[in-house]
Amino acid sequence: MATQGAAKEQTKSRIREPKRYRVIMHNDDFTTMEFVVDILVRIFHKNEIEAEQIMMSVHQKGSAVVGVYPYDIAKTRILESMNRAKAEGFPFRMTMEEA
């Protein structure tokens, strides 16, 4: 029985939480506020009130953290947002940094 407990303990020590990344939205003078709120609701799953608060923070401060995600999720959401912006003709920009 003692060896079984030791094996479980070793397995637990090898598992690491994935690194987390902040997704940062940047302000520009051309992307509409409505588009930004729509991105936050549809892609980042924010409710309308939270989306409007983040959008205003981006507008007033120049940038804001939209969320913190594992790398693949952060990258996918950024790419999806940027592709939608490009299709709409907006110079919308998002970046990510390790949390």
CATH label of the domain that carries residue 49: 3.30.1390.10
| pLDDT tens-digit map of 72-86 | 999 999 999 999 999
What confidence tier does 12 reach under pLDDT thresholds 50, 70, 90? low
Any domain includes 2: no
Q: How far apart are CA 56 and CA 67, in angstroms?
A: 15
Any domain includes 35: yes
Q: How many CA atoms lie within 13 A of 14 on its CB side?
A: 6
Task: Kindly state the tokens that stand for 48.
Answer: 């309308």
Any domain includes 1: no
Number of domains in the chain: 1
Please report the pLDDT score of residue 91 as a whole number: 97
Residue 44 clears pLDDT 70, i.e. is over it: yes
Q: Which regions of 4-99 does DSSP assign to beta strands (E)?
A: 20-26, 63-70, 93-98
Read off the pTM. Answer: 0.83
Contact between residue 66 and residue 31 where contact means Cβ atoms under 8 Å apart: no
Average pLDDT, the chain: 91
Query: 79 lies in which domain range?
Result: 17-98
Give SS3 for 98: strand
Please report the pLDDT score of residue 13 as a whole number: 66
Any domain includes 40: yes
